[in-house]
Structure 1
Amino acid sequence: MKKLNFLLTLAFIIVVQLSAQTKVGDATLPNEVTFNQEKLVLNGAGIREKFFFDIYAGGLYLKTKTTDAESIANADETMAVKLDILSGMMSRSKMEGALREGFEKATNNNTASLATRIDKFINLMQEEIEVGQVYDIVYEKGKGSVLYKNGVEKGFVEGLDFKTALFNIWLGKKPADKDLKSEMLGK
């Protein structure tokens, strides 16, 4: 009887853990994360594709689910974008190029006031990017935009204006990937 109870308990724990995650391509993203002592829920997730290759799984985490991209990007509250690297095609230099292009699109080529902070953020990614690494780009209210690699803080950049431009890389009018934007918004 004790063995049966143990097996039933174990099965229950496995089912609960599996239901607390979302499968996105070859990645598994948690349905909840905590940053800055605030619980965030998965708003939506999808795959960033380029030339038919899955580059990364991306998830958007918010305090409360919404489909309003503009209000998300402009909100002064803790939120996160999780990037789970799926392809060796994503290198540090390609990520840098993608971020710079994303900032240009997100600001309509008006990056002058953000240039120093863009450089600082990109320089937080000193190490080569590899398959299986997870990057969390977190706006922590009161601190700024924080970059975590595999759960370790790499540094942060201050300013709500910077955060707005950063999140508009995925959620703006000219996003890095329209399908991923829609999926992150839960549409």
Structure 2
Amino acid sequence: MKKITLALVAFICLSTATAQIRIGKAILPYEEKFDNVELKLNGAGLREMLWVDLYAGGLYLQNKNNDPKKILEANETMAIKLNIVSAFVTQKKLIKAINEGFERATFGNTKPLQDRIKKITTLLSEPIVKNDIFDLVYIKDKGVKVYKNQKELGIIEGRDFKYALFKVWLGEEPASEAVKKGMLGIQ
């Protein structure tokens, strides 16, 4: 009986520690921890183009929320995870998409953020391959830490930068409506 109980406890601990969700070909964890803050998957969506899955995007928050304005304005630790599932997503295409996203997010007024936009594109200058995972983590009162495959690449300061960056996926003209709805959990 003791062995069965131990096996059951071990199984429960193992299954909760590896809880994940499949979005297309990507697998995203239900929980993440950044800067000692526990975050839970708010929602996730799949970016497709011409019936090709490009990446899965997940939004991690401390508490569930489906209001993009409140999420964008919040000064609390949160993250966007991008799981690349296609070789069609290259470093050059990602940087182009981010630059276009900042243009839309700021209504063409990128000048106040220009140095920091350049910094994020520099951080993303390494080649991208299928199964790369990017975490864009806003740390409360600090800025956005950029991770690639769990390796920290750098930090970009400013809540205004976080607002514009997260608006690329959660704004009025998102990179993908399906990813936005998925991240907000309203799909």
Question: Could you say whether these structures have the same fold, taking a TM-score greater than 0.5 normalized by the shorter chain as the test?
Answer: yes
Counterpart in 1 of 2:65?
66
In the aligned structure 1, how far is the partner of 2:26 from the partner of 2:150? 16
Q: Is the 8 A contact 2:142 2:159 kept in 1?
A: no
In the aligned structure 2, how far is the partner of 1:64 from the partner of 1:3? 37
Identify which range, 94-103 or 70-79, moves more after superposition. 70-79
TM-superposed deviation, 1:36: 1.3
In the aligned structure 2, how far is the partner of 1:184 from the partner of 1:119? 26
What secondary structure is seen at the aligned counterpart in 1 of 2:179?
A: helix
Q: Say whether 1:179 aligns with 2:178.
A: yes
Counterpart in 2 of 1:146?
145
Cα distance change, pair 96–14 in 1 and its aligned pair in 2 (3 A): same
TM-superposed deviation, 1:16: 3.4
Identity of aligned residues (%): 46
Which digits, 9 at most, give the CA deviation of each residue in 1:18-70, with x for residues without a partner?
A: 5x211111111111101111101100001011121111111000011100101
Counterpart in 2 of 1:22?
21
* Structure 2: runs of 5 or more not aligned: none
In the aligned structure 2, how far is the partner of 1:84 from the partner of 1:150? 9
What secondary structure is seen at the aligned counterpart in 2 of 1:155?
A: strand
Counterpart in 1 of 2:83?
84
Q: Is the 8 A contact 2:90 2:128 kept in 1?
A: yes
What secondary structure is seen at the aligned counterpart in 1 of 2:125?
A: coil
Which digits, 9 at most, give the CA deviation of each residue in 1:155-174, with x for residues without a partner?
A: 01111111100000000000
Which digits, 9 at most, give the CA deviation of each residue in 1:84-127, with x for residues without a partner?
A: 11000000000000000000011111111111110011100121
TM-superposed deviation, 1:142: 2.5
Which residue identity lines up with residue 72 of structure 2 in the other structure? A
Cα root mean square deviation, aligned: 1.6
* Structure 1: runs of 5 or more not aligned: none
Q: TM-score normalised to the size of structure 1?
A: 0.93
Counterpart in 2 of 1:124?
123
TM-superposed deviation, 1:12: 3.9
